[in-house]
Copies of this chain bind each other. A is one copy, B any other.
Amino acid sequence: MKQSLPNLAVLGATGVVGREILKILEENKVEYNSIKFLASSRSAGSKIDFKGKSYTVVEAKPEEFDGVNICLASAGGETSKHFAPISAEKGCVFIDNSSAFRMDENVPLVIAGVNDEDLKTHKGIISNPNCSTSQLMLPLKALNDKYKIKRLIVSTYQAVSGAGLKAINELTDNIKTNLVGMPYEPKAFKYEIAFNVIPQIDVFCENGYTKEEMKVTNETRKILHLGQDVKISCSAVRVPVYIGHSEAVSVEFVEKVDAKEARELLKNTWGIEVRDDISTYTYPTPKDAAGKNPVYVGRIRNSIAFDSGLDFFCVADNLRIGAALNTVRLAQKVIEMGLY
């Protein structure tokens, strides 16, 4: 176990998730020796205020990883593919938000508090799961440990912030244009997102599912160490919400489940906040979850579609638990476990 505090780098510091990483680093007690902010040449030179100091964003180049112990990366798949191996070779642990290495069997895919042990197998790269998978892992881990998941069917209601700054601005522009009765030509999306829902996120795979949908299937299996006998499908849909992904979840279990017992179990699970009281119309919504850290679970009920199953509604800030928060938590785990 190394005793010295780590030198940190944040790659993609000026993007939507990068900014959120900075916010969370400011809130959290991550102790470090030094920190630097890397981005593409386009953003290099811009200023970042962090913990009361002003930093200049530096262009990401191989030599910038020299002496860095942990890199929190959120700069897209191509950038990660380029820099992760360079970073690893220089002894820096690259915590990656992109999908580039998630299904690589040599790269652990980890949600803090769910499968931390997998971090020990890292060879310089650690992957952060996709947002739509991430928020499901805390509740599903607790439920799987007790009831053993047999089948999982997820329908998502995903916020535009998952598609970046352009998409956030497009929602506003599209809404404003529609409100004055004008048509709008979408750019960030294939269809208008204002007052609409779009049943496609990411590109299509050969089996007719989108990559986003297959991420839920494949990443869930990898993180929870589920076998191929566990069946998982997803329908991923974009909705006109700025921040906060919601998911309607149906799970079938091997063991007999009871909603009341499951609710108590989830109430006692770290990282989850149960908001579930139908007598007071208490359930989570994305607007309430935005800017917050917990995974919110509500509408927990015994499934009437499965002999032993649950239906529930799961909401979280997609930029936090689905991206930046887990990245920071993974960095903390790497530091605590002395894995750098």
Footprint of B on A, CB under 8 Å? 151-153, 155, 157, 171-172, 175-176, 179, 190-192, 195-200, 204, 207-209, 217, 231-233, 235, 237, 239-242, 244, 246, 248, 250, 259, 278, 281, 283-288, 298-306, 311, 313
Contact = CB atoms under 8 A, between A and B. Distances in A.
B250 A246 contact: no
Contacts of A281: 190, 200
B304 A209 contact: yes
Nearest to A194: B287
A153 B251 CA distance: 11
30 contacts: A152-B305, A153-B250, A155-B248, A157-B237, A157-B239, A171-B195, A175-B175, A176-B179, A190-B281, A191-B287, A192-B287, A196-B287, A199-B248, A199-B283, A199-B284, A200-B283, A200-B299, A207-B301, A207-B302, A207-B304, A208-B259, A208-B301, A209-B304, A231-B304, A231-B306, A233-B303, A235-B250, A237-B246, A239-B239, A240-B240
Copies of this protein chain in the complex: 2
Nearest to A247: B155
Contacts of A190: 281
B250 A233 contact: yes
Contacts of A303: 233
A198 B285 contact: yes
Contact of A233 (B172, B200, B232, B311): B311
A173 to B, nearest CB: 11
A168 to B, nearest CB: 11
B235 A155 contact: yes
Counting from the closest, the 7 A-B pairs by CB-CB distance are A208-B301, A155-B155, A233-B305, A235-B248, A196-B287, A204-B278, A155-B248
A71 to B, nearest CB: 33
A228 to B, nearest CB: 11
A298 B199 contact: yes
Nearest to A157: B197
Contacts of A172: 179
A305 to B, nearest CB: 4
Contacts of A288: 191
A231 B311 CA distance: 14
A231 B232 CA distance: 18
Contacts of A209: 301, 304, 311
Contact of A304 (B233, B284, B301): B233
A191 B311 CA distance: 21
A197 B239 contact: yes
A309 to B, nearest CB: 8
A44 to B, nearest CB: 32
A210 B285 CA distance: 16
A195 to B, nearest CB: 5
A287 B283 CA distance: 28
Given A157-B237, A171-B195, A237-B248, 20 more contacts: A153-B153, A153-B250, A153-B305, A157-B157, A175-B175, A175-B179, A192-B285, A196-B241, A198-B285, A199-B246, A199-B284, A199-B285, A207-B301, A208-B259, A208-B301, A231-B306, A233-B250, A233-B303, A240-B240, A240-B241
